[in-house]
Amino acid sequence: MPRDVGLEELLREELDTMSGLSEKPMFGGLAFLLDGNLLCGARQDGMLVRLGKGNDGWALDLPGAVQMLSGGRAMHGWIRVGAEIYGDDDLRRRLLEAATAFVRSLPAK
């Protein structure tokens, strides 16, 4: 699956001041890791956001947000959103702030 370079740049701009951030090609796209833990990702089919199990209900209520699937299996705590959501500055920031709060609660790798 081709990568979404535009989304990758949007996420880089949004996350550029965050210390401990790294990038790694994964899942057919580009993953952003915070202190070694997956934070979010960019693929042609949307932005992946890691909110943590039990923290994703509010985000799944957003029109167009879906639970991430891996091999047909639901990945609880992960959502995928399309351009209608990640293109909205306020929604994108809210999702990334929630993801950052969750991932910062994890031990660094």
| Count of C-beta atoms within a 10 Å radius of residue 42 | 25
Domains of the chain: 5-105 (3.30.1460)
Read off the pTM: 0.94
Reported confidence tier of residue 28, pLDDT bands at 50, 70, 90: confident
- The per-residue pLDDT for range 61-107, each reduced to its tens digit, is 999 999 998 889 999 999 999 999 999 999 999 999 999 999 999 99
| Count of C-beta atoms within a 10 Å radius of residue 22 | 11
Q: Is the pLDDT of residue 53 over 80?
A: yes
Reported confidence tier of residue 1, pLDDT bands at 50, 70, 90: low
| Residue 3, pLDDT score | 87
- Average pLDDT of the chain is 95
